[in-house]
Amino acid sequence: MSHVVYKKAHCLGGQTLNQYRTEQMSEPRWKYAKQNLGITNSDLDSNFDFINSAVLNRDANNQLLLTTTGLFGPIRTGTLIHLDPLSANQVIQSQQAPVNPEADLITKLNKLHDEHTGIPPSNDLALCVNGFWTSATNGAGITGLDGSANVFGSTGQLICDVDELNFPLLTYGTTCESQHTYLDTLAYYGGTLLAPKEEFALGFSQDLWGIQYDQKLPQYITDYQFSAKKAGGLFVEHHPFPHIWLPSQGKDPAFGNHTVSRILLGRRLDKTHEDSYYRPVTIQQYHFTMFEIPLDGSALAIRPQCIHNDSFTEGAQTVFLANTPANTVALRHSAPINKMSAGGTSVSHLEE
C-alpha cells in the first residue's frame, strides 16, 4: 500500500469537478472512507486525484477482503507532529517548529540502517532467501492480474529458490531482553518504533497522507494475494519515501475484528563467489523478519527504500504514503509461493 496510480477520469462534457468527485465518492470503495475523513475539505479538494486513487476495495470469491476505512493527515514537510490513533485526524500538529533539521526521522532511520549493516540478525531472527528480483519495467511484469491488485500499476517478480517461507515474528514483549532484540533487529532494516505520541519531524520533501486500510485474514492472503489471477503472489516492494504504520485500536469498522498489525521487512545482501572457471558470480540474498506493532498508540517507521509488506495485518491500520515511483514484486517459485508462516503459524491459521 504505497504509491498510487491516478484513476483516469472519464468525464462527460460539462461535468464539474464537484460532480466528478461526488460521483467517485458514491462508489462502494468509498463507503467507509467518507465516514472517517480526518482531512480538511481543502486538502481533499487539492489532492483529490491522488487520494481517490488510494481508496480501493479488493475481493475474492464474491467476498470483500480489503477496503479503505479512513483518510488522515497529511504529515507536512518541515513540521513537528505526533500520531494518535484515537484522534479524528491522526496527525497532530505541534505548536513548535523543528529545532534541529539534522535530527529528523529519516536521518535517524538511515543512521540505524548504516550502523547495523555489518551485524546481520541471527538465523532465528531473520529468514535468509536466495532470489532474483526483476521489476515490471525490466520485462517481468505479471499479466492478467486484478485491476486493483497493485496501486503501482504493475507487478514484477522475486523468484526464490524455495517454495516455502517461514518468517520469524518478533513482538515487543514486556522484558528488556525482548524489547532490545525487537528494536535491534528492526534497526538492521532501517526501522524504529515510535512511542505513543512521540514527536518527530519527518525530513521528507513531500507530504505523506494517511490511508487506513482494513483487511480480513486469512482470506486476504490465501484467496487474494496468493491467487494467480488476483495479486499473482504475496508482494514486497520498496520506494523513495519512508513508510509509517499506525494500527487502530478496538474493532475494525468493516469486519468487526480486533487489529493485529504484522509488518514484514526485508533487506538485500549479495553473496559473491567464483564458479569453476574462476569467474565472479553474485547471488542475490534477502533477509526477512516480521514485526508485530504494539497496540498502545505506537507506530512503526522505516527508511526510504526499505523492502516491506503489510498483508499479514488483520483489521484496520493507517499507512502513510507519498506519490512517488516504486518497485513492487510478487514472491514466486515456479508459481506464487503459498506455503508461508509467521512465527511458526501457518497463514491459514493467522486469524486464530
Intra-chain end-to-end CA distance of the chain, in Å: 25
Q: What is the DSSP string of 120-167?
A: PPPTTT-EEEEEEEE-GGGTTPPPS--TTS-TTS--EEEEES-SEEEE
User: Cα 152–291–286 angle (5° rounding)?
Assistant: 65
Contact (CB, 8 A) for 73 and 35: no
For 1-49, write each residue's pLDDT tens digit: 544 555 555 555 567 888 999 999 999 999 999 999 999 999 999 999 9
Q: What is the pLDDT of residue 3?
A: 47
| Three-point CA angle 288, 262, 209, nearest 5° | 105
Residue reference for cell 463507503: 31
Q: Which residues pair with 27 in a beta bridge?
A: none
Identify which has the larger pLDDT, 146 or 350: 350
Q: Residue 114 above 90 pLDDT?
A: yes
- Say yes or no to pLDDT of 273 above 80: no
pTM: 0.93
Residue 256 has pLDDT above 70, yes or no: yes
Least confident of 12-26, 82-96, 162-176, 205-219: 12-26
Q: C-alpha distances in angstroms, 239 versus 3, 95, 251?
A: 8, 31, 31
Q: How far apart are CA 24 and CA 70, in angstroms?
A: 16
296 pLDDT above the threshold of 70: yes
Q: Supply the pLDDT for residue 142.
A: 74
Q: Which residue has the cell 466528478?
A: 20
Has residue 271 got a pLDDT over 90?
A: no
**ω into residue 196 within 30 of 0, thus cis?**
no
pLDDT at residue 275 is higher than 90: no
* Over residues 232-260, mean pLDDT: 95
Read off the C-alpha cell for 156. 514484477
Range 316-322 average pLDDT: 96
pLDDT digits (tens, 9 = 90+) for 46-105: 999 999 999 999 999 999 999 999 999 999 988 999 999 999 999 999 998 888 867 899
Q: Are 342 and 165 in contact (CB under 8 A)?
A: no
Q: Return the pLDDT at 39.
A: 95
